[in-house]
Amino acid sequence: MKKKVFRSRISILLLLFILAAVLLPILLIAPHIDVTTILVLFTILLFFMVLIAAIRYEIEGYALSIKCCGITFGGKIDVRFICLLKRSYNPLSSLAASLKRLAVYQTGKFSGKAALCALISPANEKEFVETLKGLNPSINVIISDKTGWWRFWDWDC
């Protein structure tokens, strides 16, 4: 199978949080700020934006890789052992640039029990799930598509 690459969904809420974390110090120390401090803070902001934009999920053969800036994190997940894809809004640290995530559960090779192995947020979720189901039709998918303006955790671009 040819390699398929999916970029991460990016949450507007996450971008606002990062922007506030950079701009708040500027506003708090505005009278005493110098150009160097502003340049450092905006360099940090740019660094985080590049990291967020560089998150990718690659499926090649039966391997799912989670990458940021070309570096694979957490090893490769064998698609043949994935047993469940489930909607998650868990804010745990993961390589997902959105709060609207997919929890990937994998059957343990030795225990046989399902265990959470990744929290991801592919932008083209439907195609991502179809690709995984094409490789492993026994994956159980539990994804609700509730929408509404009040669901701020779904504010993605």
Given pLDDT bands bounded at 50, 70 and 90, which one contains residue 146? low
Residue 134 reports pLDDT greater than 60: yes
pLDDT value at 128 more than 90: yes
Q: Is the pLDDT of residue 141 over 90?
A: yes
Q: How does the average pLDDT of the chain come out, rounded?
A: 83
Question: Which single residue is written with the structure tokens 């450092």?
Answer: 40
pLDDT tens sequence across 6-63: 999 988 877 888 788 877 777 777 667 778 877 887 888 888 888 888 999 999 999 9
Q: What percent of the chain shows pLDDT beyond 70?
A: 87
- Flag whether pLDDT at 109 surpasses 70: no
Could you tell me the pLDDT band of residue 152, with boundaries at 50, 70 and 90?
low
Measured over the CA atoms of residue 76, residue 79, residue 84 and residue 88, the dihedral's sign is positive
Note the pLDDT of residue 60: 94
Give the pLDDT score at 121: 92
Take residue 144 and report the two structure tokens written for it. Answer: 């609700």
> Whole-angstrom Cα distance, residue 68 to residue 50?
10
Distances from the Cα of 127 to the Cαs of 30, 77, 98, 119, in angstroms?
47, 18, 18, 17
Across residues 128-148, what is the average pLDDT? 87
* Helix (H/G/I), strand (E/B), else coil: 121: coil
Rounded Cα distance between 105 and 118, Å, is 7
